[in-house]
A and B are shown apart, each in its own frame.
Chain A
Amino acid sequence: AQKVTQAQTEISVVEKEDVTLDCVYETRDTTYYLFWYKQPPSGELVFLIRRNSFDEQNEISGRYSWNFQKSTSSFNFTITASQVVDSAVYFCALSTKAAGNKLTFGGGTRVLVKP
C-alpha cells in the first residue's frame, strides 16, 4: 500500500520569505512517480511537477525547486521569495507502477503568504 504524509498542515510566511513544504512517502514498489499540485482558492488543482523514482536530480523552475531524496523517502518543495499569489494548498501525491495511474494524495499543506 502507498502512503503520503505532509506533516505541515499550515504555514504562514511574510512575502519574500522562503518556504519549504515537506513530503514523505511510503511504497514497496521500486518504480513510482511523485507529483506536486497547487490548489488556489478557486479550487482547481494545478499540476506543478512529476518525478519518477529513477531520477533523483533536483529541479528548479523559476521560484520553485524540488528536492527528491530516496534515502529518506522525501520529495520536498521550496518556494523562494514567496509572493501573495503563492497562497494556496499544496498537495504531494504518489503513484506506483503496480497501482497504474491511481494517485495517493497527502493531506495537503496550506500556505498563507502575507504582504
Chain B
Amino acid sequence: SQTIHQWPATLVQPVGSPLSLECTVEGTSNPNLYWYRQAAGRGLQLLFYSVGIGQISSEVPQNLSASRPQDRQFILSSKKLLLSDSGFYLCAWSPALGTGGDTQYFGPGTRLTVL
C-alpha cells in the first residue's frame, strides 16, 4: 500500500531564516505530487504541483519554491521566511493515470510558525 510521509511535524522558525520541508511517498512510482498551505481557520491553497522529476508548476507567486529531486520526493523551500508563511503545510500525491480527477491522498502535514 502507499504511504506518504512529511517532516518535520512542527517547526518554529524566526523571520528571515531558511526553510526546508520534505515529503516522500512509498509504494508507488511516478506519482503526481502537490504542496498545499492552510492558514489558520481557512481552506486549502494549492502552492505547487509536479508531474515528474524536475517538473514544478507554481500556482501562486510567493516567497516559497519547490523541487522534486527524486521520483517520490518533494521539497518545499524558502530562503527567507516571512511572518505570512506561517500555516499548516500539506503534501499530497495522486496516481498519474492521465484521466483527470485522480484522488489526492494527503500526508500528516507540517505546522510552521514563523516568529
What is A's interface to B at a CB cutoff of 8 Å?
Answer: 31-33, 35, 37, 42-47, 50, 52, 91, 95-97, 99-103, 105-108
A101 and B101: CB pair below 8 A?
Answer: yes
> How far apart sit A31 and B100, CA to CA, in the bound complex (Å)?
9
> How far apart sit A102 and B49, CA to CA, in the bound complex (Å)?
8
A43 and B111: CB pair below 8 A?
Answer: yes
- Among residues of B, the one whose C-beta sits closest to the C-beta of A100 is B100
Contacts of B101 in A (CB 8 A): 31-33, 50, 52, 95-97, 101
- Total of A-B residue pairs, C-beta within 8 Å: 60
* Any A CB within 8 A of the CB of B7: no
> How far apart sit A9 and B115, CA to CA, in the bound complex (Å)?
29
* Any A CB within 8 A of the CB of B32: yes
Within 8 Å by CB of B100, from A33, A44, A108, lies A33
A101 and B44: CB pair below 8 A?
Answer: no
B107 and A107: CB pair below 8 A?
Answer: no
> How far apart sit A35 and B106, CA to CA, in the bound complex (Å)?
13
Instruction: Tally B residues with Cβ within 8 Å of A.
Output: 22
B100 and A103: CB pair below 8 A?
Answer: no
Give the Cβ gap from A28 to chain B, nearest Cβ, in Å: 15
A91 and B100: CB pair below 8 A?
Answer: no
Within 8 Å by CB of A102, from B46, B107, B108, lies B46
A44 and B44: CB pair below 8 A?
Answer: no
* Any A CB within 8 A of the CB of B63: no
A103 and B46: CB pair below 8 A?
Answer: yes
A43 and B109: CB pair below 8 A?
Answer: yes
With contacts A97-B101, A101-B102, A103-B104 known, what are 20 further pairs, Cβ within 8 A? A33-B101, A35-B103, A43-B88, A43-B90, A43-B108, A43-B109, A44-B90, A44-B108, A44-B109, A45-B90, A47-B104, A50-B101, A50-B103, A52-B101, A91-B43, A100-B100, A101-B94, A101-B104, A105-B43, A106-B43
Contacts of A44 in B (CB 8 A): 90, 106-109
